[in-house]
Amino acid sequence: MTSLELVINEDALVPAERFFRAGVDLLAWLDDLNEVPCDWAITQLRTGSAVAVISATEATSESDDAMVSAVAGLRSAAAGHVLDGWTPDAVDSAAKFADNFAGPSGGRSHLRLVRDDDSRSETDAVDLTERLGAQVAALKPPTRTVPGTVRGKLLGVNVNRGNRASVRTRAGQTVRVGFSNVLREALKDAMYKAVDLRGRVKKDPSGKTFHITAFEVHEIEKPDIDWTQLFGCAPEFTGGADRHEFLERLRGPA
């Protein structure tokens, strides 16, 4: 299991407002990085400076990946580029979190991966500097929001801290889902089923949908007949012509 250690103002006094605001922003950011919604818990808490160790209440490969991505992404942002796979929402949330460390702080702050085997490397930590928030914000790509639909398998629904879910499309892409209280029960009932969500979708500069605010949810019913069972069900469909002749009639010579 992987955890995240957040240290604020190492060896210095920590304003309570900064500590709690940074914690809330960190969780919102991890939500945008995690492919399947989950809950997070504080597993260690120390004072002197403010030190909090955070991990998923039920560790999964997705939650571990989100924490690894958080540190790697901030290191990339400090170097001037967005980590591959980050959505515009993840960039925005990262900037909001990092902005908590803008201005004089009185001590060094960092975000560090904590691994089960207690191993460490230089890439497992990133300094939370005064400039980092602005560096991340400068990398946010433009987005557009339009009416649309998302179809795929509903992987997770979490209503403990806002209404969040994820859908995995047939192309293997994960789309984050927001929804109102009205859809809570419908989405819970549709867990791990194929669904068609309709609402307002967010698209990145390439036109890829990465988030939908769902207004409607429809389960996609599995047909009673498999497509392989359709072979031979209409033998007179081509009027006696073989498939090549039939297609040529429809489309003309190739």
What integer pLDDT is reported at residue 230 of this predicted model? 54
DSSP SS3 for 210: strand
Domain limits for position 234: 143-254
**Residue 8 burial class via C-beta count within 10 angstroms: exposed 0-12, middle 13-18, buried 19 and up:** buried
> In terms of domains, do 159 and 114 share one?
no
What integer pLDDT is reported at residue 236 of this predicted model? 66
> In terms of domains, do 132 and 149 share one?
no
Q: Check which CATH number belongs to the domain holding 232 and give it.
A: 2.40.50.140
> In terms of domains, do 181 and 110 share one?
no
> Which of these three, 137, 168, 202, is where a domain ends?
137
> In terms of domains, do 109 and 160 share one?
no
> In terms of domains, do 132 and 18 share one?
yes
Q: Residue 115: name the closest of 72, 64, 51, 189 by CA.
A: 64
- pLDDT tens string 46-72: 887 899 999 999 999 999 999 999 999
- pLDDT tens string 188-229: 999 999 999 999 999 999 999 999 999 999 999 875 556 555
> In terms of domains, do 201 and 127 share one?
no
For residue 84, name the pLDDT band (cuts at 50, 70, 90): confident
The amino acid at residue 44 is: Q
- Alpha-carbon span 158 to 211, nearest angstrom: 15
> In terms of domains, do 6 and 121 share one?
yes
> In terms of domains, do 94 and 35 share one?
yes
- Alpha-carbon span 207 to 29, nearest angstrom: 23
> In terms of domains, do 90 and 107 share one?
yes
> In terms of domains, do 103 and 147 share one?
no
- Alpha-carbon span 150 to 182, nearest angstrom: 19
How many independent structural domains does the chain possess? 2
Helix intervals (H) in the chain = 16-33, 61-78, 88-98, 132-137, 184-189, 243-251
pTM: 0.82
> In terms of domains, do 72 and 86 share one?
yes
Beta strand pairing status for 108-115 and 125-127? antiparallel
> Which of these three, 107, 137, 167, is where a domain ends?
137
> Which of these three, 137, 168, 203, is where a domain ends?
137
- Alpha-carbon span 77 to 75, nearest angstrom: 5
> In terms of domains, do 107 and 156 share one?
no
- pLDDT tens string 111-169: 999 987 777 777 899 999 999 999 999 999 999 999 999 999 999 899 988 899 999 99
